[in-house]
Amino acid sequence: MIAQEPPWAPAAAVFFVGREKDSVLNKVLRRPGLGVKLNLYVLFVLLLFLVSIVFLLNRNTDSLTKQVGSDRVGEEVKIFEKRLAETQDKLLIDINFLATSLHFFQAVGRRSANDVAEIINPANVSLKLDDITVVDGDGNRLIDTAADQTDFSAEDRLLAVGLSGQETIALLIENNRGQTQISIAAVSPVLSQTGNRLGAILMSRRINEQFLDEMTFGRAAVHMGVVHNDQIIARTGAVPPGNGAQDQIVANDILIDSDPLAAAQRGQAVILDELVSGARGVPHAVAYVPILAGTETSSVVVVILVELEEIYSFQNDTLNNTVFIFTALTMLSISIIYIAIFSTTIRPLNELRTIAHTMTSGQYDQRAPVHSQDEVGQLSTAFNEMANAIQQRETSLKEAWEQAERADKVKSMFLASVSHELRTPLNAIINLTKFVALGMYGEINAEQSEMLNNVVASGKHLLNLINDVLDISKIESDSLELFVEEGLHIEDIIQPAIETANGLVLQKPITIACEIEPELPALTGDEQRIRQVVLNLLSNACKFTDEGQITLSVYRQDSEIIIAVRDTGPGIARDDHEAIFESFRQAKSGVRKAEGTGLGLPISRRLAEAHDGRLWVESALGEGATFYVALPIKSSLVPTI
């Protein structure tokens, strides 16, 4: 049995606190003198005021930071898209200029690599392109300025487009010595004056660190990273060594976000609504911009980060200064108030509190000194009167408690005796009847077998009723003990209950469905008692449902695991929603079923509450019923050793 504190031990403290609150409140309302002594409430008001100021200041600065960040990253997106379009236009202009140059297409027509090189190399000094490739009409390279290139497959496919007579601009993705290189490439056919295709020319500008630095104009507060295949290919700045996720970090410990990345790959620039905190907690505005080169979608996305360190520092400085100034003013106010009321209120109340604590330990002969006739003096006089009354009642309360303890022990002994005297022979009757029904004591006919099975079923029903009565008796006497375990998997608890419930509806046109959310966290509790709750709810659903479906759903909601049992039965009137959780009570629709004692739901609710959980019902007549059990994921129960 769970140990309880005797009622007379805290009686003085409870009575004193209630009397003190009532007395102080009345004095404050009726006599202005006591209001001066209660200026300590100013502390509470000042603290609330400080919290309100900090909250409003923080919210307003956060809103301002978001707005500024959104505007700044939006401007960066426009600048990037404009610079990207200018780069593509420049490539097309440069390639058209070269491809239509008389000396150039004559050199290509002669298929002279030296002549082509004499034209391309000087031109690239001013163009500053990363790669210029020229092929003849058969696709043979006349010049390729990217000397370190090893993979020509992607470049050849793009040159084939030029040899087919098309001029286009596209993204060129190459794998060079195990490293992915991404370029913006323009390709054009080389035509003679008569329109004959002599070859093709390809110009490309790599999207690398240098390219990104040009896009940011070298500004330290703007960071960019090129993402391909969910990995950073190039970025402005460097990631500190030792970080295992370097291919996922754009800058300042900010990782790639897969959702906006996927949206950007579909061809639409995405600006995040929320700021993202980076290193040292500095907020960043983030945008994902696809690199579109003649297509509506792109596998290459540039992540743009705008660091808002200046406004973040301003926000912190303002907040710190506000808290410091307000704290100084509050401390000054506290000092003045404390000095003013200590001698008139705090010291007498401390004496009164000390005596109250002494009385709480059982020394009821202590009395409070009365120093004055003001509100505190009157409170001390009232306290002494209360102490006299409590001392007179102590003896009678102690005797009543001892008598109640003896009665509780007798009740516990009676329950234990009833449990043994009823369940033991009843189990023997059930088992012996099973043996007879199985023909172990001689052959029996079908009618006898049916009668014996009815006896077994009735015996089990009676045993369940006895167990319910014993459970509710233990619960009401606070003697119910749980065998608490950690790491309980809800699937292991639910499955046996489902199997048992399936056996209850074999003779009914009812299907039982089970829907369990995957990867639910483990619970802490008594596995057998939790299963008892679930089985009680399923048994009720099977009992009151004649046809249709019973659905058991298990899912997570916030910090709880929800178990829901929904049936297609007659439903429960709203007026009966609480009545069905009272002992030996049933809903009006349930009384017609005539089975049970009306203890299943009260026991189930008490067991759920013993696990720091809840049990409730949602139903209406004619609409079925849904019973919910909520069990906390993080329980305060201590595992049983």
Cα 545 to Cα 446, 512, 539, 589, distances in angstroms: 30, 11, 10, 11
Q: Please tell me the distance from the alpha carbon of residue 488 to that of residue 403, in angstroms, as a whole number.
A: 42
Looking at residue 327, its pLDDT comes to 82
Arithmetic mean of pLDDT, 366-394: 79
3-state secondary structure of 510: strand
The predicted-structure confidence for 39-56, as pLDDT tens digits, reads as follows: 557 777 777 887 888 788
Is the per-residue pLDDT at 387 higher than 50? yes
Q: What is the mean pLDDT of residues 427-431?
A: 78
Res 399 pLDDT > 50: yes
Which range has the worst mean pLDDT, 17-21, 59-63, 347-351, 497-501?
17-21
Query: Residue 2's pLDDT band (boundaries 50, 70, 90)?
Result: very low
pLDDT digits (tens, 9 = 90+) for 470-496: 766 666 666 678 888 999 999 999 998
The answer to whether the CB of 197 falls within 8 A of the CB of 190 is yes
Are the C-beta atoms of residues 144 and 129 closer than 8 Å to each other?
A: no
- The pLDDT score that the predictor gives to residue 332 is 82
**pLDDT-based confidence at residue 195 (cuts at 50, 70, 90):** confident
Q: pLDDT, tens digit, for every residue of 232-262?
A: 989 888 776 655 577 888 888 889 999 999 9
- Cite the DSSP H helix spans in 40-141: 41-99, 102-109, 113-127
Question: CA 88: distance to chain centroid?
Answer: 45
Task: Give the pLDDT of residue 169.
Answer: 92
Q: Which domains does the chain have, with CATH numbers?
A: 62-84+211-307 (3.30.450.20), 100-206 (3.30.450.20), 483-632 (3.30.565.10)
What pLDDT is stored for residue 178 in this prediction? 78
pLDDT of amino acid 501: 86
Residue-wise pLDDT tens digits, 514-531: 999 999 999 999 998 898
From the number of C-beta atoms within 10 Å of its C-beta (0-12, 13-18, 19+), residue 420 rates as exposed
Cβ atoms of residues 304 and 229 within 8 Å: no
Given a cut of 70, is residue 4 above it in pLDDT? no
Helix residue ranges, H only, 147-297: 153-163, 209-216, 258-265
Residue 615 contacts residue 608 (beta carbons within 8 Å) = yes
Q: Provide mean pLDDT across the span 543-547.
A: 89
CA distances in angstroms from 187 to 91, 292, 341, 420, listed in the order given: 9, 16, 89, 94
User: Over the range 375-388, which residues count as b (16 or more CB within 10 Å of their CB) and which as e?
Assistant: bbebbbebbbebbe
Instruction: Tell me the residue type at 126.
Output: S
DSSP line for 580-598? GGSTT---HHHHTT--S-S
Q: Which residue matches tokens 């039982």?
A: 512
Query: Residue 78 and residue 94: Cα distance in Å, rounded?
Result: 24
Backbone phi, psi, residue 142, to 5° = -95, -30
pLDDT at position 40: 59
Average pLDDT over residues 213-229: 89
pLDDT of residue 587: 63
Structure tokens at 338: 């404390």
User: Facing residues of 619 across strands?
Assistant: 625
Q: What contacts 617, CB < 8 A, 6 or more positions away?
A: 572, 577, 580, 625, 626, 627, 628
Q: Find the mean pLDDT for residues 502-515.
A: 89
CB-based contact 365:388 (threshold 8 Å): no
Residue 553: per-residue pLDDT: 94
Enter the tokens of residue 60: 């307003």
Residue 583 has pLDDT above 80, yes or no: no
Calculate the average pLDDT of the chain.
82
Find the helix or strand (DSSP H, E) in which 386 lies. Answer: helix 375-437
The pLDDT, as a whole number, for residue 6 is 43
At 481 the three-state DSSP class reads: coil
Tell me the C-alpha distance between 576 and 610, whole Å: 23
Per-residue pLDDT band at 170 (split at 50, 70, 90)? very high
Q: Predicted confidence band at 557 (pLDDT cuts at 50, 70, 90)?
A: very high
Confidence grade of residue 420 (pLDDT, cut at 50, 70, 90): low
What is the rounded average pLDDT of the residues 593-607? 75
Measured between alpha carbons, how far is 226 from 157 in angstroms, rounded to an integer?
Answer: 23
Q: pLDDT value at position 240? A: 67
**Residues in the chain, how many?**
641
Least confident of 138-142, 221-225, 420-424: 420-424
What is the token pair recorded at 109? 């027509």
Contact residues for 416 (Cβ-Cβ < 8 A; gap 6+): none
Structure tokens at 132: 């210029």
Q: Is the pLDDT of residue 270 over 90?
A: yes
Is residue 597 very low, low, confident or very high in pLDDT (cuts 50, 70, 90)? low
pLDDT digits (tens, 9 = 90+) for 280-317: 888 999 999 999 887 888 899 999 999 988 888 887 88
- Give me 14's structure tokens: 């409870």
For residue 347, pLDDT beyond 90: no
Instruction: Please name the residue ranges forming H helices in 270-374.
Output: 309-341, 347-360
Residue 5 above 70 pLDDT? no
User: Percent of the chain, pLDDT > 90?
Assistant: 29
Q: Rounded to an integer, what distance in angstroms lies between the CA atom of residue 76 and that of residue 508?
A: 68
Handedness of CA 390, 394, 400, 402 (dihedral sign): positive
pLDDT greater at residue 618 or residue 576: 618
Average pLDDT (400-417) is 71
CA distance 106 to 57: 72
What is the C-alpha to C-alpha distance for residues 379 and 377, in angstroms, rounded to an integer?
Answer: 5
**400 band by pLDDT with thresholds 50, 70 and 90:** confident
